Amino acid sequence: MSRRSGTTSNDANSPVKDAETKVKAIELAVDDRHFSMIRALHMADLITELNGFCGAMSIFSSLRYCLGSPDDLSQLYIAMTFMPFGLFFDFMDGKVARWRKKSSLMGQELDSLADLISFGMAPASCAFALGFRTFLDTVFLTFFVLCGLSRLARFNVTVQMLPKDATGKSKYFEGTPIPTTLSIVSLMAYWASKGWLLDSLPLGTIGTGLLEFHPAVLIFCASGCAMVSKSIHIPKL
């Protein structure tokens, strides 16, 4: 989750940036030419779109695994592989924006939406494909996705108010960044390699009927709580 800005920021030039943002918003709203939105995108935005592409492809690969033979794990591994590629593009979009000193008005919003797909929906879909399929499992996975959604929304609102270093970058992340969910994906890849999936998931199941769930799904709940925590501060490197 990179902060999309082509220049550094501080309190002194904040009014200027606000004015520039309003001008860009007006220009985007009144431009009714064909493909005007596409023309408004910068190179960094196109890289962000690739992040979203990886997330969407991961979800579709998880669905293909659900539709195919449970013994053929190729689509499941493909689903897991797309997510680190999404992380690469998430890292690169900010680098490109700073390198070119250009960022569009939609840049930060695109970044958050792409992150939600690649690091929220895609891991949850992969978990469902892996075997977390009971009603309560899906409730816990939905909680995980909503925590990621809330965390990204809070980031967009509060990023300008977080303490900055000399270069204008925020000193820390408030709550764990949503790309840290890839650590759970790594764990699921290990489980798949050991054959611990579907009816053989670690820790088995507890409860019956609508109350049946896999205790291992609580890892996603813990990750969601860490994302929305205000007391966890992760220093930026």
Could you tell me the residue ranges of all domains in the chain? 14-235
Span 75-99, pLDDT tens digits: 999 999 999 999 999 999 888 888 8
Q: What is the dihedral of CA 126, 132, 138, 144, to 10 degrees?
A: -60
According to the model, what pLDDT value does residue 234 have? 85
- Asked whether residue 39 carries a pLDDT value surpassing 90, the answer given is no
CB atoms inside a 10 Å sphere around CB 24: 14
- Asked whether residue 124 carries a pLDDT value surpassing 50, the answer given is yes
Total-model pTM = 0.85
Of the ranges 14-18, 27-31, 99-103, the best mean pLDDT one: 99-103
Q: Which of 60, 220, 216 is nearest to 129 (CA)?
A: 60
How high is the mean pLDDT of the chain?
87
CATH number 1.20.120 given to 14-235? yes
Mean pLDDT of 60-65: 98
pLDDT top residue among 67 and 44: 67
Mean pLDDT of 16-41: 62
